[in-house]
Amino acid sequence: MGTRQKEQKIPITKRALVQRINRLLRKRNEALRGKRGANTGEYYLVDFTRNALIQDDVSLDKLGRELDVLKPYERLED
């Protein structure tokens, strides 16, 4: 009987994830933006076609998984 190894996931930086998300959103005339002066890393989605806010307080991890730019074997770096 062996010890069970903890599942290893590749760490991805916030900056890399934001770039991946924005590459995909650019095709839809949308973008992910960070709130200026926010140390907590709060993000929001903007639609350039309508010049409107789509969503406030976006979770990078959740959005990355929904858009399939953050793979199951990757994790957001702390």
How many C-beta atoms lie closer than 10 Å to residue 74's C-beta?
17
Number of helices (H) and strands (E), helices first, in the chain?
2, 5
The pLDDT tens digits along the chain (78 residues) read 444 556 799 999 999 999 999 999 999 999 999 987 655 558 999 999 999 999 988 999 999 999 999 999 999 997
Model pLDDT, residue 39? 52
How many C-beta atoms lie closer than 10 Å to residue 35's C-beta?
13
Report the SS3 class of residue 53. Answer: strand
Contact 21, 38 (CB under 8 A): no
Amino acid at 77: E
Regarding pTM above 0.85, the answer is no
DSSP 69: -
